[in-house]
């Protein structure tokens, strides 16, 4: 268990195949895990909760050459995060190329569950509920404002019981000219809009 820190619990800079597995990360001042470049890093089978900022943030891969980072975030339970910074501090924030977000359970967040930007990102088989509890014009899974974010796949997710004020909340939100996202076999229940 990693707990009771004023900053980040784990910072990974560069390297290859660093794995955080079967850990509890809680009562974290900022985010639980921050990954900056490298290859093949993974966070799996972890419980992440009570973070002042987000859960996992990962930056990796090369968008100019579409070289993948090979990062994987799987089988994690992430809830009650963003207790200090309420917006744009998601459970998982993926920036770059070639990452997978698979089989995670995410709930009880004031804003977005998964925020992504980049290419060839896979968001599959996740269950997301009770997110965007304090925000509107938001999405459980969100990206936007760049037509070059292509090759992303959002499939086989169960998104249900979303919050949302004002303009409401979307299950999957492709905002402001975002294009090229494949969305298949997702199940939505009690959401403002399924997909926008």
Q: What is the pLDDT of residue 164?
A: 85
pTM of the model: 0.96
107 and 77 Cβ atoms separated by less than 8 Å: no
List helix spans (H) across the chain: none
119 and 143 Cβ atoms separated by less than 8 Å: no
Those residues of the chain that have pLDDT short of 50 are none
Q: What's the DSSP call for residue 118?
A: E
Backbone angles phi, psi at 22, to 5 degrees: 55, 50
Q: What is the pLDDT of residue 165?
A: 86
Q: What is the pLDDT of residue 177?
A: 86
């Amino acid at each position: 268990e990693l707990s009771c820190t004023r900053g980040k619990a784990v910072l990974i800079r560069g390297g290859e195949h660093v794995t955080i597995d079967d850990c509890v990360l809680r009562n974290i001042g900022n985010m639980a895990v921050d990954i900056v470049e490298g290859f093949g890093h993974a966070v799996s089978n972890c419980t992440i909760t009570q973070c002042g900022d987000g859960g996992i943030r990962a930056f990796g891969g090369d968008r100019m050459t579409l070289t993948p980072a090979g990062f994987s975030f799987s089988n994690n339970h992430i809830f009650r995060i963003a207790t200090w910074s309420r917006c744009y501090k998601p459970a998982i924030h993926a920036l770059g190329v070639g990452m997978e977000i698979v089989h995670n359970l995410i709930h009880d967040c004031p804003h977005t569950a998964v925020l992504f930007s980049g290419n060839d990102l896979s968001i599959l088989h996740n269950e997301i509920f009770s997110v965007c509890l304090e925000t509107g014009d938001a999405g459980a899974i969100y990206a936007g404002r760049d037509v070059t974010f292509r090759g992303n796949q959002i499939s086989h997710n169960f998104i249900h019981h979303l919050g949302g004020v004002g303009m409401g909340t979307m299950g999957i939100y492709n905002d402001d000219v975002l294009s090229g996202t494949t969305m298949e076999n997702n199940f939505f229940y009690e959401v403002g809009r399924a997909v926008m």
